[in-house]
Amino acid sequence: MNTLEALNTRRSVRAYKPDAVPAEALDKILEAGTYAPTGMGRQSPIIVAITDKEVRDRLSALNAKIMGADTDPFYGAPVVLVVLARKDIPTHVYDGSLVMGNLMNAAHELGLASCWIHRAKEEFELPEGHELLATLGLDADDYEGIGHCILGYADGDEPAPKPRKEDYVYRIA
């Protein structure tokens, strides 16, 4: 699959098998995330890779609570990659968003499904989020949650693409 094909065929998946993601594939996806463009090359984002089921489930419950639901907002995905970025860098939200894109596109290239799940900002403003980052030696006050990239094998067919809207692109020639 070439880059343009990957970009045109990746879809957000919302049903996952419990099967583990091979470590080699996960390492490649994480590496792709580290090569996302960042403002002035400052590399403000960090990626927290969660494969521990207990931690994943605690984070899922916290995310669901913020959302006001009692379902799994991670749709059963066995891997959650949390992207955060340094608040003191003016481009941190954009930088983290580009990391999210790289993670999802790399996953697709490797035959894995993914989806961007929101509410990372709110999670890491709470004491539970602070505690999780503290276990990694990070000060949560320095970071803003950008998003969760959930990964795994799709449980069923990937969704069909929605038609592109007609007024997506405007040209000035």
pLDDT digits (tens, 9 = 90+) for 115-157: 999 999 999 999 999 999 999 999 999 999 999 999 999 999 9
CB atoms within 10 A of CB 94: 17
SS3 at position 132: helix
- Cα separation, 73 vs 64, in Å, equals 6
Tell me what the pLDDT averaged over the chain comes to.
Answer: 97
- Helix (H) / strand (E) element for 143: namely strand 143-152
Residues of the chain with confidence (pLDDT) below 50: none
SS3 at position 35: coil
Alpha helices in the chain (DSSP H): 3-9, 23-34, 53-67, 92-109, 120-123, 127-134
Residue with tokens 């400052």: 42
Q: What was the pLDDT predicted at 171?
A: 96
- Cα separation, 36 vs 43, in Å, equals 9
Q: What was the pLDDT predicted at 170?
A: 95
Q: What was the pLDDT predicted at 87?
A: 98
From first CA to last CA, the distance across the chain in angstroms is 32
Pick from 170, 38, 58: nearest CA to 102: 38
Q: What residues does each domain of the chain span?
A: 3-152
Instruction: Look up residue 168 and give its DSSP letter.
Output: S
- The class of domain 3-152 in CATH terms is alpha beta
- pTM of whole model > 0.75? yes
Q: What was the pLDDT predicted at 1?
A: 83
Q: What was the pLDDT predicted at 25?
A: 98
